[in-house]
Amino acid sequence: MKISNYLRFTGAALATALIGLSSAQAETYNQLVAQDSSVGFTYEQMGVRMDGEFREFTATLSFDPAQVDQAQASFQVNLGSVDLGAPDFDAELQKPDWFNTKAFPDATFESKSIASKTDNLYEVQGVLTIKGEQQPVTFDAKFEQKADQGLFSGEFTIERAAFKIGEGSWSSFDIVANDVLVRFNLAATAQ
């Protein structure tokens, strides 16, 4: 075999191997690992920072770092699983003025687009629905691969008044601020 033919053959074999390797490494993360995930929030009450979380939520994911334009995500949060660290506060949030969980048991998020910004940082646009009120939201999500999991993290701010959270005498912002910071850390595996 001539040297030029050998080099072409070797180059083609190497390229084929690299393509095969990158295809093998590309994974679609689509199975939520609930015990390694969290959804929480922070707000101010009378100027004091308050933290809470939701104990029950589900997610439907389809994320392949090699095909971000096809990525999708949707979340369903059980509002009745709210935990502020005090049972009285948790019970208050179930009432009609707040989450009204009898009529609206869940909050949902549905992605409309996911686009790459930089390495491991993605812009997510979608629709958040709470108490029947829909609002567009845009936020950055960080993605990391650790062991056999894909880890997604980020945060965004909503205005509670836009979702009618805190109606009646609670609709003013002198006691409970309007801005609520939502935080998420989601772990997923490729199935």
Nearest C-alpha neighbor of 42 from the set 93, 84, 91: 84
pLDDT digits (tens, 9 = 90+) for 83-95: 999 999 999 999 9
Backbone phi, psi, residue 177, to 5°: -65, 155
Can you give the pLDDT at residue 20? 38
Residues 150 and 129: beta-carbon distance below 8 Å: no
Give the pLDDT score at 147. 86
The SS3 call for residue 56 is coil
pLDDT of residue 27: 86
pLDDT digits (tens, 9 = 90+) for 116-151: 999 899 999 999 999 999 999 999 999 999 989 999
Lookup: tokens for 1: 């075999």
Query: Mean pLDDT for each consecutive 10-residue tract of the chain (191 residues)?
Result: 41 38 62 96 96 96 93 96 96 97 98 94 98 98 93 97 96 96 96 78
Model pTM score:
0.84
* Nearest-angstrom CA–CA distance, 108 and 17: 43
Which pLDDT belongs to residue 84?
96
Cβ neighbours for 79, distance < 8 A, ≥ 6 positions apart: 54, 93, 94, 99, 101, 104, 105, 106, 107, 130
* pLDDT score, position 94: 96
Q: Which helix (H) or strand (E) holds 9?
A: helix 3-25
pLDDT of amino acid 26:
58
Cα–Cα dist 83/184, whole Å:
15
